[in-house]
Chain A
Amino acid sequence: MIQLEVLRYNPETDQEPRFQRYEVPFRDDWVVLDALNHVKEEIDPTLSYRWSCHMAVCGSCGMMINAEPKLACKTFVRDYSGVIRVEPLRHFPVERDLITVIDDFVAKLARVKPWLMPKEAPANGEYRQTPAQLKRYKQFTLCINCMLCYAACPEYGLIPGYLGPAAITLAHRWNRDSRDGGREARQEEIAAKEGAWECSFVGACSEVCPEHVDPAAAIQQVKIENTVDWYKDHLMPWLKK
């Protein structure tokens, strides 16, 4: 048997969050999500959490597992000994139990204009893009919006206005796409006070990213490009006509 300690909070009935302990069978092929489903089906139907794909691609089941941001569908119970403590993702308001309010991220994603602003109209058929050009941004397209990076980011915890790892990475994904000419339009958010410069390069976002997107690398690339911009503007103004 394993002991699950789950944070419970129902705004209608609870003054404040509390932990509830459940005993569930141990199976070495179970992920934490399977254990939660066991609780929901067999022990306590009132427990609420989000999940869907069970294959680490829909991004629904991000939660804190023993204080680390994890996808519950890809975190095996066999990798833990003793009590497994499950809490909602850090840095987000709790809606109920393990469900957080993610409005902030959704709004920020829209602000960075994550859509193609074509550099030029396509000729007849597709834009040409070589495998090498694809490779320049492909990794940054793999973000599943699971919010683990926000839960890991100390800056986001301190400065809620910070755009944060996923939103900046996705903006950068479009900036690096050979078909795109929208970098300037995205700059007003990315280069702004609460954009990329807020990042203090702790790198926690990349450590917890389940898709190995490496948002820290994206943010550093953004900073370097912005620095180059600054030098071009101030020291070589003739370049910018």
Chain B
Amino acid sequence: METISADVAIVGAGGAGLRAALALADAAPKLRIALISKVYPMRSHTCAAEGGAAGVIKPDDSLAQHFEDTVGGGDWLSDQDAVEYFIREAPKELLQLEHWGCPWSREPDGSVAVRPFGGMKLMRTWFAADKSGFHILHTLFQTSLKYTSIRRFDEYYATDLLVEDGRCRGLTAIEMRSGQMRHFDAGAVILAGGGAGRMFAFTTNGAIKTGDAMALAYRAGVPLKDMEFVQYHPTGLPSTGTLLTEACRGEGGVLLNRHGRRFLQDYGMGPETPLGHPVLKTMELGPRDRVSQAFWHEQRKGNAVSTRWGDAMLLDMRHLGEKKIDERLPLVRDMSISYMGVDPVKDPVPVRPVVHYMMGGIHTDIKAATPLAGLFAAGECACVSINGANRLGSNSLTELLVFGRRAALSSLEYLESQGAHRGAAEGAAEKALGRIRELLQRAGGGESVAGLRKEMMHAMEQHAGIYRSGEGLAAACAKLAELRRRYRNLQLHDRTNVYNTDLLQALELGSMLDCAEAVVQSAAARKESRGAHQRLDFPERDDRNYLRHSLAYYRGAEAPGIDYRDVVITKSKPGVRDYSGEHARAHA
């Protein structure tokens, strides 16, 4: 097996991975950086983020206010020391991107413009029209081309972390072009592989979001934290799940049921605000969990709009006018016309809640370090946790940057503390190769990738959605255990080497099954309702028993072990999340 030596290997080349690579290249010009990704960097799913990135910059805003919004938005499950660090670093990172040339939208005086976002008390979301993630990703990618010390391995699929003497010493990855396994011998590894939304049938996530980095860490013994918290974004197109950004509502769009009523006022987010004059942190600018939950109730009451793709609500942006829609929301208009046949300038667009983001992920501390020495993680695959039980829109793009950089600096500190790297974990690499060979050549298994995947998606959609029950989760746990068992009888149809997507999808399915089991097991164990985790059988938040992070530990063929860890609280005691108009006025 060919061995490639690096000081730091980064898995994933989206926003977090690229930011980490740039921080390493800047801080230590002689460092050998291996940037490994299963896709070319510009294909990473960061490109699909639309609305923007939060960071305090305007004179009327304050770090304390961003802190309060984030912690309350997360239903007090965020680690407050991590949130403080995040919020302090956020403006610096957004400014750094500006200095790298990101085409942020501007005010008439040439300063960076900000827009309102859900759950945020003040306007602090930096944006580049409605392609903010796309521009962040391409700015980072193009800037990374400047550095010869960043050696890219595009279209390499990471299969295993190599652990020796309790330290992460690199990884193995398949070069898709040749089908050959490569051994990356690295002093430290940073995981930045994104989320796992593809566990669900209806998601905004691209095909590549299969939880690979989470599964890598999990199988290497690092717990997955708070996996039960899966974010539904309220406004996806019912036909494809394509995201229509929260900025639609930030700019003034409203949500209607089939009677034309702005129904959020019936779910503690009223009274109704004047059309065209959105009020921050209330009605349509409530947080994603509350808005998605309100739709679920409307659907139950028979107030949803029927479409050929199922029930929906209406996102009405007509009053914004063509000029503003074209200037601020061009992608939204294009997507609505292309995939729904509805022009938001002329008609309300049917939308419904759709799986969007994993609050949970690889357990890291405030320095982006995992409990496994030499292993760091950042971005959606990681759980620091700043997002708690519900992430606020526009915090995740900033999180990529802040903790991508933090992971890089921590890995450098780690390398310095270690002295000379002691060489390769060759035995472990050979074992990883053996596992892939066995899968590729296995005969007579009878299970198919597409078949198992469909059953997994169905179980997740049915039992791990916006509202959950003990009974449903128990069924999902049993189903996931069964699917993981049957996965061992998976049989590939393609046994060739060059760009074998049958093999690739089989490995991705393995990642998703492990992550999905962690989700449903953690959800079954959390007998309360908090943020995005809502239990019909335990409808109240229970701070006495569950003001804690869940940790799911991999146990091979068995179900994961679930443990808990205290939330770090520095200054905000758990309180009531109030998104009513009265509250908005009182605090104006």
Residues of A within 8 A of B (CB): 10-13, 29, 40-42, 44-60, 74, 95-97, 99, 101-102, 106, 109-110, 113-116, 118, 122, 125-131, 133-134, 137-138, 141-142, 144-145, 170, 174, 177, 179-180
Residues of B within 8 A of A51 (CB): 207
State A118–B143 Cα separation when bound (angstroms).
12
What is the minimal beta-carbon distance from A84 to any residue of chain B, in angstroms? Answer: 18
Interface residues in B200-228 (C-beta closer than 8 Å to A) = 206-208
Interface residues in B34-48 (C-beta closer than 8 Å to A) = 39-40, 42-45, 47-48
16 further A-B contacts with Cβ under 8 Å, apart from A46-B496, A126-B99, are: A10-B496, A29-B339, A41-B454, A45-B493, A46-B494, A54-B207, A58-B44, A59-B42, A101-B177, A126-B98, A130-B109, A131-B105, A134-B105, A138-B103, A142-B131, A144-B134
Chain A residue at minimal CB-CB distance from B146: A115
Residues of B within 8 A of A118 (CB): 99
Quick check: B138 and A54 within 8 Å, CB to CB?
A: no
Q: Which of B95, B100, B242 is A115 in contact with, Cβ under 8 Å?
A: B100
Q: Mark B96-112, 1 if CB is under 8 A from A, else 0.
A: 00111101111111111
B322 at the interface (CB under 8 A from A): no
**A179 with B47, Cβ < 8 A, contacts A106-B40, A114-B145, A126-B111 known:** no
- Count residues of B near A (Cβ-Cβ below 8 Å): 60
Quick check: B143 and A10 within 8 Å, CB to CB?
A: no
Q: Which of B145, B208, B498 is A96 in contact with, Cβ under 8 Å?
A: B498
Residues of B within 8 A of A29 (CB): 239, 339
Quick check: A130 and B108 within 8 Å, CB to CB?
A: yes
State A133–B110 Cα separation when bound (angstroms).
9
State A118–B240 Cα separation when bound (angstroms).
41
**A45 with B100, Cβ < 8 A, contacts A55-B335, A133-B110 known:** no
Quick check: A46 and B493 within 8 Å, CB to CB?
A: yes
**A59 with B43, Cβ < 8 A, contacts A54-B206, A126-B112, A128-B111 known:** yes
Quick check: B450 and A41 within 8 Å, CB to CB?
A: yes
Chain B residue at minimal CB-CB distance from A53: B206
Q: Which of A10, A41, A58, A102 is B47 in contact with, Cβ under 8 Å?
A: A58
Q: Which of B40, B103, B498 is A134 in contact with, Cβ under 8 Å?
A: B103
State A138–B110 Cα separation when bound (angstroms).
15
Q: Mark B481-522, 1 if CB is under 8 A from A, else 0.
A: 000000000001110111111100100000000000000000
Quick check: A52 and B135 within 8 Å, CB to CB?
A: no
**A122 with B338, Cβ < 8 A, contacts A45-B494, A46-B493, A141-B138 known:** no
B273 at the interface (CB under 8 A from A): no
Residues of B within 8 A of A52 (CB): 39, 43, 45, 206-208
Quick check: A129 and B48 within 8 Å, CB to CB?
A: no
Residues of A within 8 A of B208 (CB): 52
State A171–B337 Cα separation when bound (angstroms).
31
Quick check: A122 and B143 within 8 Å, CB to CB?
A: no
B142 at the interface (CB under 8 A from A): yes
Quick check: B493 and A131 within 8 Å, CB to CB?
A: no
State A95–B40 Cα separation when bound (angstroms).
15
